[in-house]
Amino acid sequence: MTYRRTLHPDEMKSYIDATTCLQALPAALSSTIPGAVSRFDDFVGAAYIPDGESSFKSSQVQFLPWHRYFTAVFEDLLKTHCGYTGGQPYWDLTLDVKADKKFVDSPVFSPTDGFGGNGAYIPCAEQPYNSFCLTNGTGGGCVSDGPFKNTILHLGPGRNIERNDHCLTRNFHPQFPARWFSEIDINRTLAEGSYGRFWRHLEGMFEVERIGLHGAGHFGIGDPLFYLHHANLDRLWWKWQEQNPHPRLREVSGPVSEKQGAGNVTLAYEIGFGKIAQKVNIADVVHIKQKALCTIIPNTASACL
């Protein structure tokens, strides 16, 4: 992964070009994801269908290992199918919520060098694809500038995997990044002593309003920024792990599901990705140099454990 602000505009352009390339390649998984048109849609569908992210709900402890592998598979496809040679960039929202910064001015939203900006403001109740309204939304309409302004999503809303063309929308809620990505909050999250408590911070579970770092930087699964946000959450997990490698490089905890008696997640827990990738055990991805991750990203193969 590469630090966003050190990305030269040419490197950002090559990542965005590779993403639009994936959006133009034909789907490979339309037998299981009927509405998938593009290779990019395959990933959206894999996150929706029952053994993808939705199988455990994204707000459960399996979320971190699931996304670590999912993002790596996405990066691999950019390389093998679209000639991308860089690393998966991440979006460090903390840089965009400093006192002298306005969230909307983040370079990540640049129409020329970034991913384009907010959608036009539409009152939440009038937005066709929004099933719940958070306060102080500032957008909600189609993304109207930048490289994804004409992007048509084929799946969704919700977990719909049938063909349903609609535009890519964005709805900035700057108060959430400001609340969850300040340096104070990041440091508080990184100071947690166990995987379970670290993950609870990500999901905002110590607060009544459960937004957390995860929700605060989230756009839809069909938004290319989805991968940069989750890469950043993974970077934070890795940072937390590195602070105390023994035992954190072998640590996972928390209930498998909200059902009583479902048991706890262990390293042997198997996570699925639909047909986008083979199943892996959490043990395979708990360390970023574990073979399952290393070997799908050839550049790092020499550093495999």
Provide, rounded to whole angstroms, the least separation between the CB of residue 218 and Cu ion: 5
CB nearer Cu ion, residue 111 or residue 157: 157
Binders of Cu ion among 257-276, rule CB under 5 A? Answer: none
Provide, rounded to whole angstroms, the least separation between the CB of residue 295 and Cu ion: 25
Nearest Cα to 81, choosing from 20, 168, 6? 20
* Number of residues in contact with Cu ion under rule CB under 5 A: 1
Distance between start and end Cα atoms, the chain: 18
CB nearer Cu ion, residue 14 or residue 215: 215
The site map against Cu ion for 43-82 (x = CB under 5 A) is: ---------------x------------------------
Tell me the one-letter amino acid at 266.
T
CB nearer Cu ion, residue 14 or residue 60: 60
Q: Please give the residue whose beta carbon sits closest to Cu ion in the complex.
A: 58
CB nearer Cu ion, residue 14 or residue 189: 189
Provide, rounded to whole angstroms, the least separation between the CB of residue 260 and Cu ion: 26
Provide, rounded to whole angstroms, the least separation between the CB of residue 87 and Cu ion: 20
CB nearer Cu ion, residue 82 or residue 252: 252
Provide, rounded to whole angstroms, the least separation between the CB of residue 230 and Cu ion: 6
Binding footprint of Cu ion on the chain (CB under 5 A): 58
